[in-house]
């Protein structure tokens, strides 16, 4: 299981990288836009400095045509380093680009996956991660769990190194369901992880232990 942060906010990344067993940070232009007027690749360098060398960083291409996707990928790697994961949408042009980029030694996260066939093709093209959009699929009345289950079965059946990186979450229940369906990794915003610990019963249990210890030991620490 891998847990990634879907944000470029440095305060959020600093906080949650110290709490989570953080496997990576994902980004896209929409996420970058929330940060205002930033130098994108300087921000990526700042993220790398915060999370260290082990967690992965995923950056989205912008172009929609084959040649443009290749140019974007080359520029992203030039600016962000060889260990960067290039996010490429699973379109005809994107799939063609994934095949070429994998031959060139790129790390690839196949994105904008809404259907099983997209995921299957991305697996065969050699994508390292497949990113099905969980909440967006639900909004389109697509069974997100079924898509993830079928892709997980295909990966297992073929002994493929590809991993399912489920994305687009609005709540913890969706994260839980994606992992239960077979996702190997999830990426979510800081708000989703925050909500995972917001249940009052969690804090009450912690407070009760502290209070009971104080009663018997007259101390708030061991």
Q: For residue 113, give both structure tokens.
A: 């996956």
DSSP labels for 15-68?
HHHTTS-EEEEE--HHHHHTT-S--HHHHHHHHHHHH-SSSEEEEE----SHHH
Q: For residue 154, give both structure tokens.
A: 């295909």
87: annotated active-site residue? yes
- C-alpha span between 215 and 15 (Å, rounded): 33
List 87, 99, 102, 103, catalytic entry: 87
Please list the residues that pair with 188 across neighbouring strands: 5
> Cβ atoms within 10 A of the Cβ of 205, count?
11
**Catalytic positions, please?**
87
């Amino acid at each position: 299981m891998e847990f990634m942060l879907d944000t470029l906010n440095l305060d959020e990344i600093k906080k949650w990288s110290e709490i989570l067993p953080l496997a990576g940070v994902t980004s896209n232009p929409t996420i970058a836009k929330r940060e205002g007027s930033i130098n994108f690749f300087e921000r990526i360098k700042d993220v790398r400095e915060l999370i260290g060398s082990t967690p992965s960083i995923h950056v989205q291409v912008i172009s929609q045509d084959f040649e443009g996707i290749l140019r974007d990928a080359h520029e992203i790697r030039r600016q962000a380093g060889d260990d960067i994961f290039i996010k490429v949408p699973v379109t005809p042009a994107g799939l063609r680009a994934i095949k070429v980029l994998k031959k060139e030694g790129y790390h690839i996260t196949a994105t904008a996956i809404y259907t099983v066939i997209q995921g299957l093709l991305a697996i065969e093209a050699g994508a390292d991660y497949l990113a099905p959009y969980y909440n967006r699929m639900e909004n389109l009345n697509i069974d997100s769990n079924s898509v993830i289950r079928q892709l997980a079965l295909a990966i297992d059946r073929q002994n493929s190194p590809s991993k399912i990186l489920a994305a687009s979450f609005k709540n913890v229940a969706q994260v839980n369901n994606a992992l239960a369906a077979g996702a190997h990794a999830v990426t979510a915003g800081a708000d989703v992880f925050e909500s995972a610990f917001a249940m009052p019963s969690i804090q009450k249990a912690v407070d009760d232990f502290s209070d009971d210890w104080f009663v018997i030991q007259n101390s708030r620490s061991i």
